[in-house]
Amino acid sequence: MRDINQFTITEAVKKSFRTEEGSRFEQLLHGLIDHLHDFTREQQVTHEEWMRVLMFLYDCGQISTPERHEFILLSDVLGWSALVDMINTRGGATEGSNLGPFYLDDAPRKPLGSDISDGRDGVTILVHGKVTDSLHNPLPGAIVDTWQADGSGTYPIQEQAQGQDKMDLRGVFEADASGRYWYTTVLPKPYTVPYDGPVGELLRAGNRHAWRPAHLHYIVRHPGMAAITTEVFFEKMDYLENDAVFGVRKSLVAKVSPAKDVDALGYEVAAKPDAVVEFDFILAPES
């Protein structure tokens, strides 16, 4: 009979998995077991605390749907998402930032110059820029996938029960021969992350606010280049200094300028903008 105690159980658990020696999976699994067991011993976790954690994770699963990922939200508020983004940002590329819980991978393709505000009230902004490599060579055909909240800080996906189309305020654009992209939309407002589930309970227990600064989400791709998932923020907006999910980077803050001389940019747009936001994306090679 195997005789184990609180100090020998960690090695026993690791040895019970017949992983490929030296593999990345083994490295990650063993590291997780080591840290989990060390934390449990250091904190002398009680049965009640152990069960509360398990029930918290259960509740995260219960409230999650294909359109609301509570575990991503949990990762965000713990700063884990931001840390992974920081570690995996490639040299010279646009810094990564949070994916968030509301990404949909089947957003509609739209022609350059489209308006994705879908008639929502607010300040109409022209968003434009270039997609280049780290040597500033344009990347024609780059895919710019964007989604956002509206002028009141709400994602349409959150209001499907009220008849909102979950594909509103989303679009997938293909950069032109010069690597340029452009479209119009409504300027988003700050909002709170979903506060009605277990993650909200965690924030309240820790006396933390749930606010995020206004931003646009992006995934940018091009063959042979490492895709980036990031966000673009706006200067002089609230919560830039204390984003609830730690997503703000100085390099991701753009200026909102009055819409002057828009015609000089040479863009055809579906809606007349009140303001202009320019932001260039830089992709690094995959290898």
Joined together, the tokens standing for residue 30 give 């063993």
Q: At what angle do helices 70-77 and 198-205 cross, to 10 degrees?
A: 20
Mean pLDDT, to the nearest integer, of 142-149? Answer: 97
Q: For the chain, what is the mean pLDDT?
A: 94
User: Does 175 map to a domain?
Assistant: yes
The DSSP symbol for 115 reads: B
Report CA torsion sign: 29, 30, 36, 40: positive
User: Does 50 map to a domain?
Assistant: no
Distance, in Å, from the CA atom of 55 to the CA atom of 276, rounded to the nearest integer, reads: 47
Distance, in Å, from the CA atom of 104 to the CA atom of 155, rounded to the nearest integer, reads: 12
Identify the residue with better confidence: 143 or 270.
Answer: 143
User: 95: left (phi > 0), else alpha (psi -120 to 50), else beta?
Assistant: beta
Confidence of residue 176 (pLDDT cuts 50, 70, 90): very high
User: Does 195 map to a domain?
Assistant: yes
- Asked if 237 and 279 sit in the same domain, the reply is yes
**Helix spans in 44-118 (H):** 47-63, 70-77, 80-88
- Asked if 191 and 245 sit in the same domain, the reply is yes
How many domains does the chain contain in total?
2
Q: What is the CATH number of the domain that holds 110?
A: 2.60.130.10
Rounded to 10 degrees, what is the CA torsion of 23, 25, 29, 31?
A: 50
- Asked if 103 and 30 sit in the same domain, the reply is no
Confidence of residue 167 (pLDDT cuts 50, 70, 90): confident
- Asked if 165 and 29 sit in the same domain, the reply is no
- Asked if 98 and 233 sit in the same domain, the reply is yes
Rounded to 10 degrees, what is the CA torsion of 276, 278, 178, 182?
A: -40
Mean pLDDT, to the nearest integer, of 140-160? Answer: 91
Confidence of residue 158 (pLDDT cuts 50, 70, 90): confident
SS3 helix, strand, coil % of the chain, rounded to 5?
30, 25, 50
The pLDDT value recorded for residue 68 is: 85
| Helix, coil or strand: residue 112 | coil
The pLDDT value recorded for residue 145 is: 98
DSSP string, 213-261: --EEEEEEE-TTB--EEEEEEETT-TTSSS-TT----GGGEE-EEE--S
Confidence of residue 133 (pLDDT cuts 50, 70, 90): very high
Per-residue pLDDT reduced to its tens digit, 99-131: 987 899 999 999 999 999 988 889 999 999 999
Q: Which of 81, 60, 56 is nearest to 70 (CA)?
A: 60
State the residue range of the domain holding 230: 71-283
User: Nearest 5 degrees, angle CA 281-CA 286-CA 287?
Assistant: 140
- Asked if 96 and 170 sit in the same domain, the reply is yes
Confidence of residue 59 (pLDDT cuts 50, 70, 90): very high
The pLDDT value recorded for residue 1 is: 54
- Asked if 140 and 189 sit in the same domain, the reply is yes
User: Does 59 map to a domain?
Assistant: no
Confidence of residue 44 (pLDDT cuts 50, 70, 90): very high
C-beta of residue 267 within 8 angstroms of C-beta of residue 125: no
C-beta of residue 139 within 8 angstroms of C-beta of residue 131: yes
Distance, in Å, from the CA atom of 133 to the CA atom of 94, rounded to the nearest integer, reads: 10
User: Does 255 map to a domain?
Assistant: yes
Question: Based on the number of CB atoms within 10 Å of its own CB, is 141 exposed (0-12), middle (13-18) or buried (19 or more)?
Answer: middle
The pLDDT value recorded for residue 205 is: 96
